[in-house]
């Protein structure tokens, strides 16, 4: 399964990762004012959350063997 690793110490609570996730794989904890891994199985590996995070507080771990296309078509 995909993983979204969030470093809550580095996170400044700006919500950019949360807002950039168009598949809602990242949720928001209103109490802690921090992102949470909500539905990592829905992640499409667009990396918008990771790229847009100025604090570099999150990292997307791709689970390519379980992705929805044959790995024979992936260029190395």
Q: What is the pLDDT of residue 30?
A: 97
> What number of H helices and E strands is found in the chain?
2, 4
- The class of domain 3-73 in CATH terms is alpha beta
Q: Where are the domains of the chain?
A: 3-73
Under the banding of pLDDT at 50, 70 and 90, the label for residue 68 is low
Radius of gyration (C-alpha) of the chain in whole angstroms: 13
Q: Contact 26/49 with Cβ under 8 angstroms? A: yes
Mean per-residue pLDDT over the chain, rounded: 88
Mean of the pLDDT values across residues 59-74? 68
Question: Mean pLDDT over residues 52-58, rounded?
Answer: 96
pLDDT tens-place string over residues 33-53: 999 999 998 998 899 999 999
What confidence tens digit (pLDDT) does each residue in 5-20 have?
999 999 999 999 999 9
């Amino acid at each position: 399964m995909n993983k979204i690793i969030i470093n809550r110490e580095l996170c400044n609570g700006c919500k950019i990762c949360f807002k950039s996730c168009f598949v809602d794989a990242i949720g928001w904890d209103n109490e802690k004012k921090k992102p949470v891994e909500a539905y990592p199985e829905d992640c499409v590996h667009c990396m918008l959350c990771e790229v847009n995070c100025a604090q570099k507080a999150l990292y997307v771990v791709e689970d390519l063997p379980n992705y929805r296309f044959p790995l024979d078509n992936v260029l190395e």
